Structure 1
Amino acid sequence: MTSPSLTSTTNPGPELPAPAQGRARPSTAWLGLVPFGAYLALFLVLPTVLAIATGFFDKAGAFTWSNLSALVDPVILTTFWNTTWLSLLTAAVGAIIGAIVCYATMGLPPTGGIRTTLDAATGVLAQFGGVMLAFVFIATIGVQGVVTILLKDTFGIDLQPGTWLYSVPGLILPYIYFQVPLMIITFLPALAALKPQWAEANLTLGGSRVSFWLRIGFPVLAPSFLASFLLLFANAFSSYATAAALASQGSQIVPLQIRAALTSETVLGRENLAGALALGMIVIVGVAMGLYALLQRRAARWQS
C-alpha cells in the first residue's frame, strides 16, 4: 500500500497577479549636463556668434564685406603666417619630446612613484601658462634674469642679444613648456593601449623589435599621434595670455592683433576688424579640431 504522503501533491496555491506596468518616468539624468551646457553657451557659443556677427557687420549694423577684406591685407597675412609657423613648430617639438617621454615611461609601473609624480606634474604644467609662465621666463632668462646674469658674468655669454625673448621667436620656449605636458597627457593612453599579445605574435612569426614598430606600432599609433599634434597646434594657435605678457609691444600674432583692433584708437571705421580676425581664427582652429575628431575616432578602435 502506498503511503499517502508519497502520492499527494503539493498545492501551489493561486497565482499572484503580475505587477501592473506603470508609465515609465522620464529620465532626469540630463539635468547633470545643465551646468556644462551653460558653460559652453556662455564661453564658447556666445563668443563665436559675436565674432561672426561683428565680422560681417559694420558699426551701424549694416552688412558689409569690408571687414573680411582686411584678411587679405599683407600685414594681416603676415600675422596669420607668424601664428601658423609658431604653432606648427611648437606643436611638432612638443609632440616629439612628449612621445619620447611617453615611451620612456612605459616600462615603469603605473602606480610607482615616478609614474605618479609624472602624471601629477603633467596635469599641473599643462595648465601653467599666462602671466605666471611669462614671469618665470622673464625672471630666469630675461634681460636681467638670474640665468642671463650668471652666464654673462661667469662665461661672458649673453642670452639676450636684441631681447629676442620679447619677440615672436621668444615665444617658442614658453609654448613648448606647456605643449610637452599636454602631449604626454593625450598620447600616453594611446601608447599604453598597445597590447603585449601583438608583440608576442610578432616574435612568434619571426619578427624583430624593428619590424614590430614598423608594421604594428607606428601604424596603430599614427592616428593618435597626428590627433595629438593637431590638438597642440590648436592650443598654440589660440594662446593669448603668455604672448600678451611677453610681447607687449606690437601685434605679431593673431591674438595680439585682435587685442590691438579692440583697443586701438587709430583704426577709424574698422571697429569690427577684431571680429573678422576672430572669425578667421575660428575657421583655422575649427578645421584643426575637426581633423582631430576624425583621427581620434579612428584611434579609438585600437584603444578600446
Structure 2
Amino acid sequence: MTASTLLGSATGSATGPAAPAPGRGRGRIRRLSAALGVVPFLAYLVIFLVIPTLTVVVGAFVEKGRPSLANLRDLGDSAVFTSLANSVALSAVTALIGGVVGALLAYAVVTGPADGLLRRLVTSICGVLAQFGGVTLAFAFIATLGISGVVSVWLDAHLGTSMTSSTWLFGLKGLVLVYAYFQIPLMVIVFLPALDGIRVQWREAAENLGATTWQYWRLVGLPLLTPAFLGSVLLLFANAFAAYATAAALVSQGNPIIPLWIRSALTSEVVLGHANFAYALALEMIAIVALVMTGYSLLLKRTSRWLG
C-alpha cells in the first residue's frame, strides 16, 4: 500500500461521505409538493369517474349475483335499438345545427375587436346559455311553445295556427329545438380559440400571391379550421348524447332516447326480466361516448400543431 493510498483513506475517513447538494433537496421538495397538489384531483376522478365506470362495467355482466350476458343480449330488443337510433340521430342533428350556426356566430364575433363590447357580451351570454338546461330549460320552452304557451296562444289567436293542440314539443322534434338552444352557444365557446388562431399574416401572404378571398378560405382557412370544426361537432354530439335532465322533464311518456330508457330501468322493479339492464344501457352509452371523445382528442391534437 502506497503513501498516497494511506493518505486518501485517512482523508476520506476523517471527512466522511460527500453531502448532497442543497439544490437537489429543494427540487425533491418541489416535486413532492406538486404531486400532493394533484391528489385532490385524482381523488375526484376516482370517486366520480373510475368507481362509477367500474360499477357499470361489472354490473352489465352480472345478473342475480352471477356472471351473465343476458343484459347485453337484451340490448338487441327492437324498442331499445330504436331508442339508440333516435339518440344518435338527435345528437347528430343538434350537433350539426349547433356546429354550423355556432361557427358562423363565432366568426361574426371574431371579426370585431378582440376587446370590444360585442365580443364580451356574446361570450358572456354564450357562457350562461351553454349551461342553461334541465328542468328550468324545459319549463321555459313549455311556457313559451307548449300547449298553453304564450307564443302558442298568440299564434293561434292572430295567425290561425293549431299550436295549442299540438304536442310536437314533447317528442323528438321538440328535443331538437331545445337541444339546439344550448348547443349553439357551446359551439361558440369551443370554436372561438380556433378562429383566434388564424393569423392575419397568412391572409396577407395569400393576397400578395394573388389569391382571392374564396381561394384563401378554400386552400388555407378551411383546411386549417376543419379539424377544429369536426372536433367541436364531436364534442357537441357527446354533449347531446349524454344529456338527460332536459329530456326527462320534457318527455313524460315513453322512452324515445337511451337516457330515458336508463331512467325507466332504474325506477321500475324489473325491466325485461333483468334488474341490471340499466348497467348494460349505460355501458352502451359509455362505449359510444368514449369512441366519440377519442376522435375529438385526435382532432384536437392535430389542431394544436398550429393553434397558438
Whether TM-score is above 0.5 comes out as yes
Q: Shift in Å at residue 20 of structure 1? A: 7.0
Structure 1 partner of 2:236: 232
Unaligned runs of 5+ in 1: 1-18
Contact 2:110 2:119 in 1 (8 A): no
Distance 1:205 1:245, change over 3 A: same
Specify the code of the residue in structure 2 equivalent to 1:183: M
Q: Shift in Å at residue 33 of structure 1? A: 2.4
Structure 2 partner of 1:137: 141
Structure 1 partner of 2:15: none
Contact 1:129 1:178 in 2 (8 A): yes
Q: Distance in 2 between matches of 1:139 and 1:21?
A: 71
Write out per-residue CA displacement over residues 203-236 of structure 1, whole angstroms, 9 at most, x where no aligned residue: 1111010000000000000000000000000000
Pair 1:76-2:86 in alignment = no
The structure carrying a bigger helix percent of its residues is: 2
Structure 1 partner of 2:94: 90
Contact 1:168 1:247 in 2 (8 A): no
Structure 2 partner of 1:21: 21
Aligned pairs (5 A) from 1:89-108: 89-108=93-112
Q: Distance in 2 between matches of 1:196 and 1:236?
A: 34
Which of 10, 20, 32 aligns to 2:37? It is 32
Pair 1:247-2:275 in alignment = no
Contact 2:148 2:164 in 1 (8 A): no
Contact 2:153 2:164 in 1 (8 A): no
Specify the code of the residue in structure 2 equivalent to 1:173: L
Give the RMSD, CA atoms, in angstroms: 1.4
Structure 2 partner of 1:113: 117
Q: Distance in 1 between matches of 2:164 and 2:245?
A: 22
Distance 1:126 1:293, change over 3 A: same
Distance 1:20 1:273, change over 3 A: closer
Contact 2:269 2:275 in 1 (8 A): no
Q: Distance in 1 between matches of 2:214 and 2:288?
A: 37
- Report the secondary structure of 1:92's partner residue: helix
Equivalent pairs, count: 285
Q: Distance in 2 between matches of 1:256 and 1:271?
A: 16
Aligned pairs (5 A) from 1:1-304: 21-22=21-22, 23-24=24-25, 25-26=28-29, 27=31, 28-59=33-64, 61-267=65-271, 269-304=273-308
Specify the code of the residue in structure 1 equivalent to 2:244: Y
Q: Distance in 1 between matches of 2:289 and 2:272?
A: 29
Write out per-residue CA displacement over residues 112-160 of structure 1, whole angstroms, 9 at most, x where no aligned residue: 1111111111111111000110011011101101111111112212225
Unaligned runs of 5+ in 2: 1-18
User: Percent of aligned pairs with the same residue?
Assistant: 49
Q: Shift in Å at residue 36 of structure 1? A: 2.3
- Report the secondary structure of 1:302's partner residue: coil
